[in-house]
Amino acid sequence: MYNLSSSVTWKKLEQLARETQNDRISEYFSDDAGRFDKMSLRLGGLFLDYSKNRLSGEIFKTLLKLAEHSPLRQRQAQMFSGDIINVTEKRPVLHTALRNRGEEPVTVNGQNVMPEIQAGLKKLQAFTDKVRDGEWLGFSGKRIRNVVNIGIGGSDLGPNMVCRALLPYQHPEMKFHFISNVDGQHIKKILKGLDPETTLFIISTKTFSTQETLLNANTAKQWFIEHSHCQGADLGKHFVAVSTNKAAAMEFGVNEDSIFEFWAWVGGRYSLWSSIGLPIALSIGYERFIELLEGAFEMDQHFQNAPLEKNMPVIMALIGIWYINFLGAETQAVIPYDQALHQLPSFLQQLDMESNGKSVDMEGNPVDYATGPIVWGQTGSNGQHAFFQLLHQGTRFVPIDFIASLQVEEGTEAHQFALLTNMLAQANAFMNGDAAGHQQDYTSCPGNRPSNVLLLDQLNPHNLGALIALYEHKVFVQGTIWNINSFDQWGVQLGKRLATEISRNIESKSTEYDASTQGLMQIVKQHFSGSSPVAKEQSLKKEPSAALTKVAVQPAKAKKTA
């Protein structure tokens, strides 16, 4: 049985944490002039400098032993080969197969899934080319100008982040919008400026049962019908779906040939590589979408084949474990010094916290050590004038990942130079501080704060794909060493179930809820004229959100622009 916290290596790391508690990162550089070269690594268009970490040579070697003695290589091989490693849901985990650009088959239950994946990509390509080339026309014969993706969680965060990051590659005659929040003001604001004749809606929901997504989808459907006076088949020219539930999508009104399917073994937060990436392909084009997959595949190959001591995801994962389990870090800051990556911290929040926010191991036993960190951050240099004060002088220990692109666009040279030098200055200041030789007072920054620096030669589809896959594998390595299942999310399911139950029970004075919840339910009920929208919907026996849509959106007149 794999018993992490009682292992010899774990105990050794605890000892090293005590022995090196007063070590300074700057002294590691003084003792080893070649530290930067030894503790930096390049893969394609990505360069990682991990030398500014509280990491001695002995600590690093011991962390590598921790990985070697864990089931990492075994579970890594199982993941790539299609074995069931999501044990609580009895599923394989094959987001890597979605971006497999090699010739090797990947089997699930004895069947090679690669032909299905290739067929799905061909369907994606055909549709993408038609829309981008102006061949896919709306009900009035006009080309599509606006694409609205309706989803939440992994059906929103990944595509949204990538589309924003790769905005320079976006089709010049198309705009992309993302609706995720169930707040009616969100969808109302986006729909207000759209023309139904030139708008395409993508309903992205794995099961076609997610409450928030269906509410927004039905609101969009009603808006479209009221604006366009469109009936029957015309709806199919403006609504497509990405889902594993074809029957439910067709019942909603999506044409069968406009449903882009994927598989149960595609986890939501790992799904942008699948048909969930449809808005990405529509934005940047199919060929560049493939470049995104190729970048991730390059990282997959590196992760599988590189020795642990030269393996970028493994190194980042082990550094994180050192801080979380032995130095008491509770959070991880991600600071992109690139405005195009402003949504990356939100994406990584879900990737990391939904994956490794677990307190029981693979056998269902409570763990006696910390697991996933709280991931947070925003773009630099904005963060410097917001929360960097706490990072420099506060009592919290917060490791940082700095991420930047070296690419300089014409006319922005001064801005990019200032951006990059600010990042280098902050990484230096966090390590060195300014307290050396001075009395500790309110002006002093003690330093010794660790960071990684990730540089992209260029923020293009290939490098972005590699960057995302790097963090995916980092999370997987940490989950494997902690012996937790990184691929389920039962905490998310609990909230969904309770939301459905409360919406159904709000009319009654049920005693199954605590006094606080009952009191709040009554206050909410009073604001819906004596009968909740759900009760009205149930009485009408129509679509789940038909009654709510009239509350959420007041349609404006249709535009007549070409």
DSSP track, 128-139: HHHHHTT-SB-T
Cα–Cα distance, 345 to 332 (Å, whole number): 10
Cα–Cα distance, 102 to 81 (Å, whole number): 13
Which of 178-192, 245-259, 375-389, 516-530 is least confident?
A: 516-530
Mean pLDDT of the chain: 91
With a cut of 50, say whether residue 556 has pLDDT above it: no
Contact call for residues 188 and 303 (beta carbons, < 8 A): no
Q: How confident is the model over 177-190, as pLDDT tens digits?
A: 999 999 999 999 99
Cβ-Cβ contacts under 8 Å for 170 (sequence gap 6 or more) = 163, 176, 283, 284
With a cut of 70, say whether residue 301 has pLDDT above it: yes
Q: Given 90, 103, 385, 557, which residue is catalytic?
A: 385
Domains, the chain, ordered by start: 8-69+306-488 (3.40.50.10490), 108-289 (3.40.50.10490), 491-552 (no CATH)
The pLDDT value recorded for residue 536 is: 55
Instruction: Give Dmax (Cα) for the chain.
Output: 78
Q: How confident is the model over 399-430, as pLDDT tens digits?
A: 999 999 999 989 999 999 999 999 999 999 99
385 is catalytic: yes
Nearest to 409 by CA among 465, 462, 459: 459
Q: Given 61, 496, 509, 559, which residue is catalytic?
A: 496
- What is the H or E stretch that residue 453 is in? strand 451-456
Write down the residue that tokens 């088949």 correspond to: 233
Nearest to 468 by CA among 309, 284, 303: 303
The pLDDT value recorded for residue 439 is: 61
Six token digits for residue 32: 């080893």
pLDDT band per the 50, 70, 90 thresholds, residue 543: very low
Q: How confident is the model over 206-241, as pLDDT tens digits?
A: 989 888 999 999 999 999 998 887 665 488 999 999
Q: Given 354, 472, 537, 543, which residue is catalytic?
A: 354
Q: What would the DSSP string read from start to end of 396-444? A: ----EEEEEE----TT-HHHHHHHHHHHHHHHHHHHH-S-TTS--STT-
Which of 23-27, 217-221, 460-464, 488-492 is least confident?
A: 488-492
With a cut of 50, say whether residue 552 has pLDDT above it: no
Across the range 389-402, mean pLDDT stands at 97
